[in-house]
Amino acid sequence: MPLIFSQELDFPTNRVLDWLSFYNADYRKYTGLNLKDDFSFSDKKITISLGGINNENSIKIKDKNLDNVNPFPVWFRRPNIVSNPFIADFEYENTYPENLFNYALKQRNTVFWNYLGYKLESDNHLGSFKTISLNKPIVLELAQKFGLTIPSTLITNSKDDLTLFFETNNKRIITKSIEEIIPDYKHYINNEEYFYFYQITNLLESLDNTPSKFAPSLFQEYIDKKYEIRTVFVDGKCYSACIFTQINEDTKVDMRNRKANHFTRYMPYKLDSEIEVGVLKLMNHLELNFGVIDFIKSINNKYYFLEINPVGQYGDVSLYCNYGLHKKIAEFLIKNED
């Protein structure tokens, strides 16, 4: 019985559940929002036993032994959403500062959750609970190691070195967050209107009026794109789409900058096999069997690896290129079941 860690409303999750029901498969979805979920522990018992002379290891939830159900297929679709399995409001009255206390709570929950995720990763799982900790510089370095070309990249806290990098890259560089730490945030002005805060890739064509002091930050050369390639990696296979972002002025630097009613052209695409092999090696190394990978094809016809989003949206690629990925994911989840 597949277990799916997702959120309350996630379209790809629902489409995969449609396919699971089509195959008459039983399944469970955990959002962490619902106390009825087995993996929300505020109101139910969880006991993990390890070691001792008899080596009797077990995980029991509500006295139900998880090992008896294991191995079951697990899809870590959006595991980070569920990473706090304890739902509670409490009055904090203490001399120890509340923000530090909350930080300590969060860290402990994360370790506990990661351990559960580690236990839940059976042979047949898609995605990973570790996805929260993909480190951008590490991924870039590994991509390079496995033969993929990455844009010239600088991590520095020196304005002088940044200036030099800027000059050597034709005065066009981009700033990127080193880690996706800024969650999208809506600040309501009234019932209907709000300010939406988010981070996108920014093009810098001048360093005037930019900060002179900053913590180590990531910069990359700006690459003139012919198009973007988005590759959905599922269980060892690459499903790629060419995305014609250059048609619209708005999406030239960052595809997320598109206006609501603008459409973007997608086309089924086949990456060179050396690149697919590089992707395979990279994903194997990271122990990921799912990820949405972004590439750029430059106007000089070179492919540049940009990043992996292990919980990325793949519905657009699946629909526009008719890859049927929801069905493939559902089939993956039930293939080893009796």
**Within 174-203, which residues bind another protein (CB under 8 A)?**
175-178, 182, 186-187, 189, 191-200, 202-203
Report in angstroms how near the CB of residue 94 gets to another protein at its nearest: 27
Compute CA distances 42 → 61, 87, 173, whole Å: 12, 6, 48
Q: Which two tokens stand for residue 228?
A: 């973007």
Cβ burial of 302 (10 Å; 0-12, 13-18, 19+) is exposed
**Closest-CA residue to 285 (of 146, 144, 147):** 146
| CB closer to another protein, 232 vs 271 | 271
Considering only 74-82, 142-150, 256-264, 283-291, which stretch makes contact with another protein by CB under 8 A? 256-264
| CB closer to another protein, 35 vs 247 | 247
Cα separation, 172 vs 205, whole angstroms? 5
Residue count at the site for another protein (CB under 8 A)? 82
Among the listed residues 88, 90, 322, 338, the single contact to another protein using CB under 8 A = 322
- In whole angstroms, what separates CA 5 from the centre of its chain? 13
In the shown chain, the binding pattern of residues 280 to 319 toward another protein, with x for contact by CB under 8 A and - for none, equals ---------------------x-----------------x
Binding of residue 225 to another protein (CB under 8 A)? no
Report in angstroms how near the CB of residue 249 gets to another protein at its nearest: 8
Q: Do 45 and 61 touch, CB atoms closer than 8 A?
A: yes
Binding of residue 103 to another protein (CB under 8 A)? no
Tell me which amino acid residue 50 is: L
The strand order across the sheet containing 125-127 reads 28-30, 3-5, 74-76, 125-127
Binding of residue 122 to another protein (CB under 8 A)? no
Report in angstroms how near the CB of residue 102 gets to another protein at its nearest: 21
For residues 68-97, which are near another protein according to CB under 8 A?
none
For 166, half-sphere exposure in the C-beta direction (CA atoms, 13 angstrom radius) is: 17
Report in angstroms how near the CB of residue 288 gets to another protein at its nearest: 24
In the shown chain, the binding pattern of residues 7 to 36 toward another protein, with x for contact by CB under 8 A and - for none, equals xxx-x-xxx-xxx-xx-----xxxx--x--
Report in angstroms how near the CB of residue 51 gets to another protein at its nearest: 35
Residue 187 β-bridge partners = 195
Phi, psi (5° rounding) for residue 284?
Answer: -60, -45
Q: Do 238 and 289 touch, CB atoms closer than 8 A?
A: no
| CB closer to another protein, 239 vs 288 | 239
| CB closer to another protein, 169 vs 286 | 169
Report in angstroms how near the CB of residue 120 gets to another protein at its nearest: 17
Q: Residue 203's CB: how many other CB atoms inside 10 A?
A: 12
Considering only 126-134, 252-260, 284-292, 305-313, which stretch makes contact with another protein by CB under 8 A? 252-260
| CB closer to another protein, 104 vs 267 | 267
Among the listed residues 35, 103, 214, 335, the single contact to another protein using CB under 8 A = 214
**Closest-CA residue to 326 (of 16, 31, 93, 11):** 16
Report in angstroms how near the CB of residue 96 gets to another protein at its nearest: 23
| CB closer to another protein, 14 vs 57 | 14
For residues 263-282, which are near another protein according to CB under 8 A?
263-272
Phi, psi (5° rounding) for residue 198?
Answer: -160, 170
Sequence-separated (6 or more) residues with CB below 8 Å from residue 226: 246, 297, 298, 299, 301
Report in angstroms how near the CB of residue 154 gets to another protein at its nearest: 11
Cβ burial of 24 (10 Å; 0-12, 13-18, 19+) is exposed
